Structures are given as structure tokens and as C-alpha cells.
Amino acid sequence: MANNLVENLGKELEQIDREYASEFAGHSRLTRDIGQMERMIKRCAAVLEQVDKIPSAAQGPDLARVRDAASQSLQLYKTEREAIVRAQAVGPSFEHFSVEATSANFVFARYMRHFAGKDRGSRDVALLGEMVEDLRQIEKRMTQLLTETKGSADFEKDRSVVRENLAQYQKEIELVEGAQASGTPDDQASVLASLANNQFAVYQTHFAGEPRVSRRPALLMRVVATLKKVKERMTALRDGGLKVEFNDKNITIVTDRLSTYETELAEVRKIRQATPMTDIMGELGGAANKLFDEYRANFADKPRPQADLQRLANICDKLGEIRRQMVDMSLAEDSEMNHKNLDVVTEQLVMFEGEFEAVARAQQAWMK
């Protein structure tokens, strides 16, 4: 009986969550139906009410997890309802600012995946530097919009959040660099090996087996630049007297990979330069569709506790790369096709990032 209740309430929560993902996440709040959101809030509150009718001593861990999930979702939906009301009261100027706020949220999500709670010695400083620059540009555009529209207090709050995270990420760069330069020569050699492996993983995720025309040259440039720095530090340790076999072998491996990646970078640049921008836009749309298919095959309607979290993280990262290129191209050329594709990609990425957080919470709950 108890198992059936947990299963039924869990299914109800997932149905509500998926309705939120398809009907609200990533959509313009100016066009959302307040009545639909209020019905979702009532359904979620009903789940919470059913759980609370059972004495806490008799609930058990599974029902307690359902209650936690319902409580978190209820708070999310209430917050979203308030945001929709505010957006519709402010009017069209909200739309322009929300684009920047959404871009900032993608940066925050990437930070949570790659840096929050992680060992600083193994983190990618170049990635963090790219995120810092992204937030700088977002803050600059937000400031311009605030000046032009005399934006609301909500706009000011969003800009403050961007500024706070920007300051945090800038400080984090110093802390990461300090962590990677500390320790004995043996310790540093191990750190450098980990950093090299991370760059190999970036290449494998974003470039191996993928059409060159849809790849971002600047990302591969970042990988190459990072590996060059890693090789320089490995070589300096060796020349400074470190005599360990694994460091010498790693220098050879990094040298070989650098040669491969630099050759690939030249090929990516060549094909991108020879391909009309409209064709590149079409290729990006095709690459996005492949990721949508991968998500549907591996995550749609699947139990979250059993989901492959790293695979979902890779999908978010790869779709984020596609969105970045679409945004850059929208600034260079006005294309209705690219504009529509960008809207779809943004909506899907919001949903995927939300699902990543939901899966992470579900798996943490089941581990307790």
C-alpha cells in the first residue's frame, strides 16, 4: 500500500514537472497562462497534503523524499507565478532583459556543474575565464538596457546577481591557480596529468566524430592553449630535477595530442571559412536535433534516480556550445531560420538544465 502511494505521488510530481518544462521553462513569461500555473500549484500542494496526512513516524524514507521533492517544486512554481505576474505588468521591455537573464542563468548552471564543490586542483581555468568574460558582457548589456528603459527593481536585482557571481568567479580563478601551483613537484605533476586528461575529455565530447562545420574554433583554441601551458609546466618540472616516469610519458602524450588538435583546428577553420553562414546555421540546427534525440532516447520518461548524470551534463554542455554559436551568428547576420532555431535551442537548454538539477537532487536523495 505504502509503495503504491509513493509510486503514484512520484508519478504525479513528475507529470507536473514535465508540464512545467514543456509549457513554462524557457518560454516568454509575457505569454504564459497564469491559470495553468495556478492549477499546477494546486496539484503540487495536493501531493504535499496527502503526504502530510500520514504521521511523520509512519512515512518512511521514500515518502519523506517525495515530500521534499513536492515542497521544492511547490516553491519553484509559486516563484514562477510571481515572476509571470511581474513580467506581464512590466510589458515588452521585460523580454529584452529576460534574454540576458537567461544567458546568465546558463553560465551559473555551467559553473555549478564544473566548479561548485569540486577539487580546485583539477578545474579548467580557461573555462572559468571564458565564463567570466561571458558575465562581463551580460552585465554590460544589462546596464545598457537599464539605462534605456529605466528598468524595474527586478531588473536591478538580476544585474546585482550577475555582478555578485562575476566577482565570485574572478576570485575563484585566483584560488584555482593557487591550488594548482601548490604541493611538491610530484603533486604538481599529478595535477598536470589530471588537467591534461580534462582537456582530452573536452575534445572527445565536443569534437571527436562530430561534423567540423558545426564546431566552434575558439573552443578548440582554448583546449590547445591550455595543453600548451600544461606541457610547459610538465617540462619545467622535468628540467627542474623531477625524475618520475609518468611525467616524462605525459609530456610525450600531450605533445602528440597537441599536434593532432592543432591539425584539427586548422581543418575546422578551413571548412568554416569555405562554408556560407546560412549553411553553418543549418548545420547547427541539425547538431541540436541530434542532441534532442539523444535526450529523448536516454532521459525522457525515465526514472531520474537511474539516469546517467554525466551524459546529461555533456548534453547540456554541447547544446550550450551550439547556442553560443547561434547567438554569435545572430549578431552577424539577420536570419529568420537562425532566430527560430535559437529560440528552440534556448527553450530546450532551459529544460535540460532544469532536468539536470532534478536528476542530481533525485540521486542525492536516493543515496541518503
Q: At residue 31, does pLDDT exceed 80?
A: yes
Interval 227-235 mean pLDDT: 98
With 0-12 CB in 10 A as exposed, 13-18 as middle and 19+ as buried, what is 346? Answer: buried
Interval 63-79 mean pLDDT: 85
Asked whether residue 96 falls in the same domain as residue 70, the answer is no
Alpha carbon 25 to its chain's center: 15
Give residue 120's domain range.
92-182
Mean of the per-residue pLDDT values of the chain: 91
Q: At residue 26, does pLDDT exceed 80?
A: no
Using DSSP's 3-state secondary structure scheme, residue 309 falls into: helix
Is 1 within the bounds of a domain?
Answer: yes
Interval 2-7 mean pLDDT: 73
Is 344 within the bounds of a domain?
Answer: no
Is 229 within the bounds of a domain?
Answer: no
Interval 345-350 mean pLDDT: 91
Q: Provide the grid cell at 311.
A: 551524459
End residue of a domain, out of 59, 90, 121: 90
For 64-68, 71-75, 217-221, which range has the lowest pLDDT when averaged over its residues? 64-68
Asked whether residue 172 falls in the same domain as residue 130, the answer is yes
End residue of a domain, out of 57, 90, 123: 90
In this prediction, residue 353 carries a pLDDT of 94
Is 133 within the bounds of a domain?
Answer: yes
Is 116 within the bounds of a domain?
Answer: yes
CA atoms within 13 A on the CB side of 248: 7
In this prediction, residue 1 carries a pLDDT of 43
Asked whether residue 112 falls in the same domain as residue 169, the answer is yes
Is 313 within the bounds of a domain?
Answer: no
Is 252 within the bounds of a domain?
Answer: no
Tell me the pLDDT band of 267, cut-offs 50, 70 and 90. very high
Interval 270-283 mean pLDDT: 96
Q: How far apart are the first and last CA of the chain?
A: 23
| Whole-prediction pTM | 0.77
Q: How many domains does the chain have?
A: 2
Using DSSP's 3-state secondary structure scheme, residue 150 falls into: coil
At 138-193, the pLDDT tens digits run: 999 999 888 877 667 778 889 999 999 999 999 999 999 999 999 999 999 999 99
Asked whether residue 112 falls in the same domain as residue 80, the answer is no
